[in-house]
Structure 1
Amino acid sequence: MLGGESDERYGKMDWNNLGFHVIPTDYMYIMKSNADGTFSDGAIIPFGTFQINPNSSVLNYGQGLFEGMKAYRREDGGVQIFRPEQNALRMQMGADRLLMPSPSVHQYVDAVKQVIRANIRWVPPYGKGSLYVRPLLFGSGSVLGISPAPQCTFLIYTNPLSNFYQGTSTSLSLLVDEKLPRAFPGGTGGIKNISNYSPVFQVVKEAKAKGFSDVLFLDAVEHKYVEEVSSCNAFIVKDNVILTPPATGTILPGVTRNSIIQLARDLGYQAEECKFSVDELLEADEVFCTGTAVGISAVGRATYKEKRVDFKTGEDTLTQKLYDLITGIQKGVVEDTKGWVVNIQ
């Protein structure tokens, strides 16, 4: 990939119109587990395809995890990332659930730094977007029966993205699905298992065909408690109270989610992890979603059983205040008093 083709593609980059699609960068990082379950000898290599055995556990049984982070360009030209150690810890939690060895927190963060530095020219200019960082951990070793792989691969690649979601300047329209649960008790909804996402492709596609932005899923037992949107956590705001469903096995413990809870409390709000029903959602003042891809994004309306409810959006909202605060920290324009930011250069 390096050389003429990569340089030509880079030279044609329109940083003002990045969008949200695949843009290969120069390098990726790869590291494989040893027989004793440890990882070593990771390396930066040119981005491109690589070989994997047809008997690999990831291809046959979906033994795999992914993470997502963003690197931001500051106004001074430097580059920083946000709470990478939390992603490392979440990958370890998921690896334990799927019986995979995982890199240490130090190995994970060091690998992320290496791959960003190797692709530093692909970090968009300040205010134009971010460099999305996608770590993967998967069973690459060969198996035949239903069992964990004897070897796992840790891989990281990057992709520049636009600021696709902009707080309250563009709001989401959600369809509340009353039939298909996203996650089940005892399942893998609480980890970033690669097989969590394809089962919702169809219902999300159908919702988008009807003009909705995404789908909000309810619990699998009583079908009345709010859980998650297809790829992000959900929050409601009512007066001085902010609620988000508890991460008790079917809810992904999002890094942005955790950060927003802390920041909201710092602002004097009562931010809690608590079950709430779809009826409570429809009575909320504000609704917003959080995640690496969406950041923090306002929900303008939700539809449940043909009933549409509009929520407050705009500059004078808590959603916008939290958006400005967290993105300001991530981009280096608001002071980081919590030690969340890690400088790359």
Structure 2
Amino acid sequence: MGFGPHEAFWNTRTSVINCAATEPHNKSLSTSSYSVPRWVAFSQLQLLRFLVNAHVECGYSVSTGHWSEPRLVEDPLLRIHGLAPGLNYGQQAFEGMKAYRDPQGNINVFRPKDHAARLALSCSAVAIPTIPEDLFLRSVNLVIASNAEYVPPHDTDAALYIRPLVFGSDPFFAVSAGTGYKFCIYVQPYRAYHGSQPIPALILEDLDRAAPKGVGHVKVGGNYGPVLKWSDQARAEGYFITLHLDSRTNSEIDEFSTSGFIGLKKTGDSFTVVVPSSRSILKSVTSTTCLDLARSLGWNVEVRPIPYPELQYFSEVIAVGTAAMLVSIKSITRRSTEETFAYSTDGSGDGCKQLQQALLDIQKGRVKSNEDWLWQVSPVEQPSGDENA
């Protein structure tokens, strides 16, 4: 049973589970009728512009050795001790996913099991207890079902962005793994934040994103915070995305600061798709999907180290990620060598358009994929939970 035209869909009223942050965990949840927020202008959405109904929280305590059941919390603000390892030592990890409506109005999440697996890998890198896949999926279902009216209609170019995050939450002075953890999932409707026009990129030469044997392959805040200063500076100078070379030799392409790297070489009506291979880059779910789609289109696929000089031989370069989707790169500049490689100038390149369309057709349920990539959200009953952390 899904969210069809008469179940929590756009032109109806929907029941929303309300759970105040201060409510005891074992207290019965109340339900109330909630009107569809018709003021939401999906054609003008940006990330994080308004509040939704609730987010989901789970707790973990070393003393119990397991995660609590997910509970809904209306207050988006978290109450955290100032000595929490997540705040002091960067013991945290996060994910990013999306949900779309299909033509029938059902809500589908794109490849949530892959994101659950990647979050588990990130947790292992920073000594956070693994979140079981079943708990992850139930939490995703609960938070989306409880915010169903904020999932944009099928005929818009917007989606519901899903942000799972986990961090050490109990106060702890020692630089070691903590005793308590919090897992949350927030959602926001949004549109791709880079837009649809090609953007210029700048190679960052004053900052190494990740050490060769570091944590560049996982999704933790420490890989993003240090680049903010440089990204803001580059943006002020007209470069809307930054690109990293490998930290050891500065001679190979790693990835963009916020997205994966895909290079295309056109041969006739076909393409060869080249993606970097490195232990220091994040395994992008979107990039992996694009490789599968490229193979289905009959294109050649290569996953290997990309020498810096090879930039001149690509007909297109694409930045790929969950929030950004597929963004054509207009040019890549390296200031130390005074080189600029020019690519798409007037709109997205043909290869990018084909991959983007194939991806959107699957994500929005217009065509079926050969893989089990779409996971349908189900209506939920009132949840019951226990507080273990």
For the residue of structure 2 that corresponds to 1:132, the secondary structure is strand
* Alignment gaps of 5+ in structure 2: 1-17, 21-33, 379-389
2 CA distance for matches of 1:183 and 1:22? 31
Structure 2 residue aligned with 1:262: 292
C-alpha spacing 1:192/1:320, structure 2 compared with 1 (3 Å): same
C-alpha spacing 1:281/1:41, structure 2 compared with 1 (3 Å): same
Structure 2 residue aligned with 1:52: 80
Shift of 1:307: 2.3
Query: Are the equivalent residues in 2 in contact too, given 1:47–1:157 (CA < 8 A)?
Result: no
Shift of 1:11: 4.5
Query: Are the equivalent residues in 2 in contact too, given 1:30–1:155 (CA < 8 A)?
Result: yes
2 CA distance for matches of 1:315 and 1:64? 35
Q: Which moved more, 1:49-58 or 1:86-95?
A: 49-58
Query: Are the equivalent residues in 2 in contact too, given 1:282–1:302 (CA < 8 A)?
Result: no
Structure 2 residue aligned with 1:299: 329
RMSD over aligned Cα atoms: 2.1
2 CA distance for matches of 1:152 and 1:22? 28
1:242 counterpart = 2:270: no
Query: Are the equivalent residues in 2 in contact too, given 1:25–1:47 (CA < 8 A)?
Result: no
1:14 counterpart = 2:41: yes
Q: Which moved more, 1:137-146 or 1:300-309?
A: 300-309
For the residue of structure 2 that corresponds to 1:156, the secondary structure is strand
Structure 1 residue aligned with 2:173: 144
Structure 2 residue aligned with 1:190: 217
Aligned-residue identity in percent: 28
1:310 counterpart = 2:330: no
Structure 1 residue aligned with 2:25: none
Aligned counterparts, 1:24-173, within 5 A: 24-34=51-61, 35-126=63-154, 127-165=156-194, 169-173=196-200
> Which of structures 1 and 2 has the larger relative contact order (alpha carbons within 8 angstroms, sep 6+)?
2
Shift of 1:340: 0.5
Query: Are the equivalent residues in 2 in contact too, given 1:246–1:275 (CA < 8 A)?
Result: yes
1 CA distance for matches of 2:368 and 2:255? 30
For the residue of structure 2 that corresponds to 1:228, the secondary structure is strand
Query: Are the equivalent residues in 1 in contact too, given 2:316–2:349 (CA < 8 A)?
Result: no
1:221 counterpart = 2:255: no
Tell which structure's C-alpha radius of gyration is larger: 2
TM-score (norm 2): 0.82
For the residue of structure 1 that corresponds to 2:199, the secondary structure is strand
* 1:326 equivalent among 339, 359, 362: 359
Shift of 1:95: 0.8
Q: Which moved more, 1:306-315 or 1:150-159?
A: 306-315
Can you list the C-alpha shifts for 1:158-182, whole angstroms capped at 9, x where unaligned? 111024456xx41121011233221
Shift of 1:76: 2.1
Name the aligned partner's letter for residue 168 of structure 2: G
TM-score (norm 1): 0.92
The list of structure 1 runs, each at least 4 consecutive aligned residues, that deviate by more than 6 angstroms after superposition, is: none
2 CA distance for matches of 1:48 and 1:220? 38
1 CA distance for matches of 2:42 and 2:188? 13
Name the aligned partner's letter for residue 311 of structure 1: Y
Name the aligned partner's letter for residue 320 of structure 1: K
C-alpha spacing 1:316/1:234, structure 2 compared with 1 (3 Å): closer
How many residues are aligned here? Answer: 339
1 CA distance for matches of 2:313 and 2:349? 19
Structure 2 residue aligned with 1:278: 308
For the residue of structure 2 that corresponds to 1:299, the secondary structure is strand
Q: Which moved more, 1:19-28 or 1:140-149?
A: 19-28
